[in-house]
Amino acid sequence: MRTAPSPSVLQPFVFAGAGWQAAEPAAPSSPAALTLLTWNVWFGALKSRARGDALLAELSRRSPDVIALQEVTRDLLAAILDAPWARAEYQVSDVDGSTFEQYGVVLLSRIPMRRLVVLNLPTEMGRCLLAAELSCGLTVATSHLESTSFRASTRVMQLGIIQPYLARSSPDVVFAGDMNFTHDAAAESAALDPTFVDVWPALRGDDPGYTVDTSINSMRYQVDARHSQRRIDRVFLRSRAWSARAAELVGSTPLDPEGTFISDHFGIQVELAHHGAGAVRPADGSGG
């Protein structure tokens, strides 16, 4: 186990001319509504080409303003960077896999990034926090917290670093990704800062919003051989200026008769709006 160092500043990239280049510093822009999609896209080899193609098509179709992906492999990153829609519209946090080991987290944003940092976490799995301050004033951060039920104490340590860091960094923060714990996980839930609002239950109430659900995703069961229904992929919002106004699961339909899905997780797409853009604020509290 290693302790987390200070954050390292990264350079976002934009496609220009014949290739991906370092983006110019972005000027502040007026806040407005935006969409955020977070998705653990599964590094598994099972039909990886077909699943990757379907992922790229779904991202292109949905065209969210900000995309936060977990378990991105170098092959998938290369495919994203080759996609015409990514080249035409987005800045990206990594162009060669240098920010991760076997797989990692990647941010894409149509809204220019003013500052991009990576914060290494206490981990035995190469986990980190990736955070981008956008030109509209909102900071978007993503992580893939330590996996497996036996590592609750590591997730508690990771949350104990991530939440204070984000709270110090910006008054307006979205923290999204694969948290690897459910609302009833005692240790991790006790470590949650209640100023970070769990968007799904704040908007959807008793809708369970399972992002891992073997009753639907038969591919997950084929690989893991265990039935599971859990909401472990989550979006937290800490802000007085921004509110969430809609949330939905993505990738919950099979690609073929064999029951192949884009990932063994479903993604979450959230609509956010600045208060001046007609948002309805969710109730205070951390929710489920």
pLDDT (tens place) for every residue of the chain, 288 residues total: 444 468 999 999 999 988 999 999 899 998 889 999 999 999 999 999 999 999 999 999 999 999 999 999 999 999 999 999 999 999 999 999 999 989 999 999 999 999 999 999 999 999 999 999 999 999 999 999 999 889 999 999 999 999 999 999 999 999 999 999 999 999 999 999 999 999 999 999 999 999 999 999 999 998 887 899 999 999 999 999 999 999 999 999 999 999 999 999 999 999 999 986 444 344 443 333
| Centroid of chain to Cα 129 | 10
pLDDT, residue 30, reads 87
Instruction: Determine the Cα–Cα distance for residues 176 and 269; give it in Å rounded to an integer.
Output: 10
Single-letter code of the amino acid located at 285 = G
pLDDT, residue 283, reads 40
Distances from the Cα of 111 to the Cα of 57, 88, 161, 250, angstroms: 20, 13, 26, 22
Could you tell me the two tokens for 97? 């896999």
Strand-pairing partners, residue 121, are: none
pLDDT, residue 5, reads 60
Instruction: Determine the Cα–Cα distance for residues 251 and 54; give it in Å rounded to an integer.
Output: 9
pLDDT, residue 80, reads 98
Least Cα distance to 114 among 244, 206, 213, 23 occurs for: 23
0.75 surpassed by pTM? yes
pLDDT, residue 275, reads 84
What length is written for the chain?
A: 288
pLDDT, residue 276, reads 62
Answer positive or negative: Cα dihedral of 159, 160, 165, 167: positive
Determine contact, residues 92/130, Cβ cutoff 8 Å: no
